[in-house]
Amino acid sequence: QSQHNQDLIAKLKQQLQRVFGYTSFRDGQLDVMLNALQGRDTLVLMPTGGGKSLCYQLPALCHEGLTVVISPLLSLMQDQVEALQAMGISAATLHSGLSSETALATLQQLQRQQIKVLYVSPERALQPSFIQRLQEYQPGFIAIDEAHCISQWGHDFRPEYGQLGQLRQYLPNVPFMALTATADAATQHDIMERLQLQQPYCHRSSFDRPNIRYVVQEKFKPLKQIKDYVKKQKGSAGIIYCGSRKKTEEISESLQQAGIKAAPYHAKLEHALKESTLRQFLRDDIDVVVATIAFGMGINKPNIRFVVHFDIPRSIESYYQETGRAGRDGLPAEALMLFDPRDAQWIQRMIEEQDNEHRRLVEKQKFAAMQAMAEAQTCRRLVLLNYFNEFTDKECGNCDLCLDPPQRFDALEDAQKALSCVYRVGQQFGIAHIVEVLRGSKNQRVLELKHDQLSTYGIGQEQSHEYWFSILRQLIHRGLIVQDIRRFAALQLTEAARSVLRGEVTLELAKPRINLTATRNSITD
Ligand code: ADP
Ligand code: ZN
């Protein structure tokens, strides 16, 4: 047995160098390969770029038969097949997008055992005629890439992928290898259950990306915040994710007007335009892509220095995947999220409108976790890693909360200023207007409404816009003010506000954390 093992290791090492030109395995790769070659089911959790493909491509060369790879992404399949062919390995794809001649030719090659690695789409893999062929050929193993798509608990459930569990009953003796870059605890369990993995060998790489600094800022003047932020990056490459196609175009345009080389990217743009944007971004001709989540899968650009979330994502998995596109080269990078509790309320409403009860529940839970992370008062990385089941209690030292822990201060006087200002404007105005009045702004609306004649006009002028935003939000969190959503989020005092106004209680708030990114000391300064 152990001699057999030694032989396998030698063979894998030899092919690693000869075919792929690499000198050593990355963390986890060798053990996964050995287990798969010995007929054991495996579950591979590795972050994007961790080297998952090698886990099935290399062992595919070290056994006699066929290796089947199931993948939901046609473009990725095509890329991988071309790369393998360039290395002299006979690889092919089967999916519904192929002409019948091409598909037939591939099937004939399969019949003649001329194909080593076959990539198939899930629909194709589930066709009875194809399953019959697999029963006949008995592949060495079946790799299932992006395995989180199998799970209804995953953030990217695909119904046709969910059916893949059926393969097991037709191919009881073929080992399965399930691979994914993102799966919370529930999803991991679900993958194993649905594929009926038998005592699988599990490899979980660390999901920590220590060179990425996680920062969350209050969203107050988002366009200006973004412009200032991007300008400070001095031409480094970055992605700005936002929640709608319209916003990608608006933000991109306003960045362009500020002299920044930016372009929008979303699913509805013409194919040729998308291609050229991507090409220009890869060549550093465009610095910033303002995109929906349509931009990302398969982007291989190592020197992305920042990823901004203009809007809060729907799940920690999405957040992790999207921020993970920064800093692939290992150099310092930053993930900035702009957070506005009103965005969160809006998303919650959208989720409530879902018809499918199960999806509603899943999305609600995932979003609640995401929101808690945005509002966290402890190390963001801790929240992230614990979410992926990588338990740790060590604070990271490279997130906004570690670098600048929130300080508490006696906020009674500030609260009184803010609350009485809400009262003086008749409890009819939203946060932004209250801040203008507190700071003694001369903007047209303030003057028109004669709010410059109120006793609270300008009583907060020594503090910044951001400062008062943060104070008001905290007062909302504490239930001293409510936002009337039906009336343009006008602020209204609650019962509890009275005792604060009368000075009958003490009140501590977190010191507003402002201009965090100005304190960073990464290479992009
Ligand atoms: P994933 O599928 O996990 O996102 P890939 O399989 O695309 O990652 O691998 C990411 C990169 O790392 C690729 O360029 C791949 O060639 C490279 N790579 C993988 N394994 C090794 C290794 N053992 N040594 C050097 N480079 C590797
Ligand atoms: Zn931290």
| 319-351 pLDDT, tens digit each | 998 999 999 999 999 999 999 988 999 999 999
- The H or E element that residue 201 is part of is strand 201-204
Q: What is the distance in A from the centroid of ligand 2 to the CA of 207?
A: 14
Q: What is the pLDDT of residue 208?
A: 92
DSSP-based helix, strand, coil % in the chain, nearest 5: 45, 15, 40
Give me the numbers of helices (H) and strands (E) for the chain, helices first please. 23, 17
- Residue closest by Cα to atom 27 of ligand 1: 51
CA distance 206 to 129: 40
Q: What is the distance in A from the centroid of ligand 2 to the CA of 59?
A: 38
Does the Cβ of 157 fall within 6 Å of ligand 1? Answer: no
- The H or E element that residue 123 is part of is helix 122-125
C-beta of residue 373 within 8 angstroms of C-beta of residue 383? yes
Atom of ligand 1 nearest to the CA of 24: 23
Does the Cβ of 325 fall within 6 Å of ligand 1? Answer: no
Question: Within the chain, which residues score under 50 in pLDDT?
Answer: 515-525
DSSP secondary structure code for residue 399 in this structure = B
CA distance 451 to 457: 7
- Residue closest by Cα to atom 20 of ligand 1: 51
**Amino acid at residue number 35:** N
CA distance 163 to 6: 37
Nearest residue to 466 via CA among 512, 414, 518, 401: 512
Task: Tell me the CA distances in angstroms from 436 to 64, 210, 457, 463, 464, one per residue in order.
Answer: 73, 39, 9, 11, 10
pTM: 0.76
Q: What is the pLDDT of residue 1?
A: 63
CA distance 166 to 164: 5
The ligand with the least distance to the CA atom of 399 is 2
Instruction: Mark 495-510 as b/e (b = at least 16 C-beta within 10 Å).
Output: eebeebbeeeeebebb
- Residue closest by Cα to atom 10 of ligand 1: 49
DSSP secondary structure code for residue 449 in this structure = T
Q: What is the pLDDT of residue 485?
A: 61
Q: What is the pLDDT of residue 519?
A: 34
The ligand with the least distance to the CA atom of 84 is 1
Other residues' Cβ atoms within 10 Å of the Cβ of residue 56: 25
DSSP string, 245-301: HHHHHHHHHHHHHTT--EEEE-TTS-HHHHHHHHHHHHTTSS-EEEE-TTS-TT---
The ligand with the least distance to the CA atom of 328 is 1
Mind spelling out the 3-state secondary structure of 61-74? CCCCCCEEEECCCH
Task: Tell me the CA distances in angstroms from 213 to 32, 300, 380, 522, one per residue in order.
Answer: 31, 20, 9, 9
Instruction: Mark 363-381 as b/e (b = at least 16 C-beta within 10 Å).
Output: beebbebbbebbebeebbb
The strand pairing partners of 472, in sequence order, are none
Q: What is the distance in A from the centroid of ligand 1 to the CA of 293?
A: 23
Pocket test for ligand 1, best of 53, 55, 299 (most atoms within 8 A of CB): 53
Q: What is the pLDDT of residue 517?
A: 38
Nearest residue to 476 via CA among 521, 509, 504, 506: 509
Q: What is the pLDDT of residue 522?
A: 31
Q: What is the distance in A from the centroid of ligand 2 to the CA of 137?
A: 51
Nearest residue to 365 via CA among 378, 353, 351: 351
**CA 273 and chain centroid, separation:** 24
Q: What is the distance in A from the centroid of ligand 2 to the CA of 214?
A: 8
The ligand with the least distance to the CA atom of 26 is 1
Pair type for strands 42-45 and 176-180:
parallel
Map residue 170 onto helix, strand or coil: helix
Atom of ligand 1 nearest to the CA of 29: 23
The ligand with the least distance to the CA atom of 12 is 1
Q: What is the pLDDT of residue 253?
A: 97
Segment 308-324, tens digit of pLDDT = 999 999 999 899 989 99
Q: What residues contact residue 525 under an 8 Å CB cut-off, 6+ apart?
A: none
Nearest residue to 185 via CA among 365, 11, 406: 365
Instruction: Mark 422-452 as b/e (b = at least 16 C-beta within 10 Å).
Output: bbebeeebbbebbbbbbbebeeeebeebebb
Atom of ligand 1 nearest to the CA of 47: 3
Instruction: Mark 109-141 as b/e (b = at least 16 C-beta within 10 Å).
Output: ebeeeebbbbbbbbebbbeeebbeebeebebbb
Q: Which residue in this structure is represented by tokens 């369990």? A: 189
DSSP secondary structure code for residue 502 in this structure = T
Map residue 513 onto helix, strand or coil: coil
Structure tokens at 224: 């200006």
Q: What is the distance in A from the centroid of ligand 2 to the CA of 374?
A: 13
Map residue 313 onto helix, strand or coil: coil
Does the Cβ of 49 fall within 6 Å of ligand 1? Answer: yes
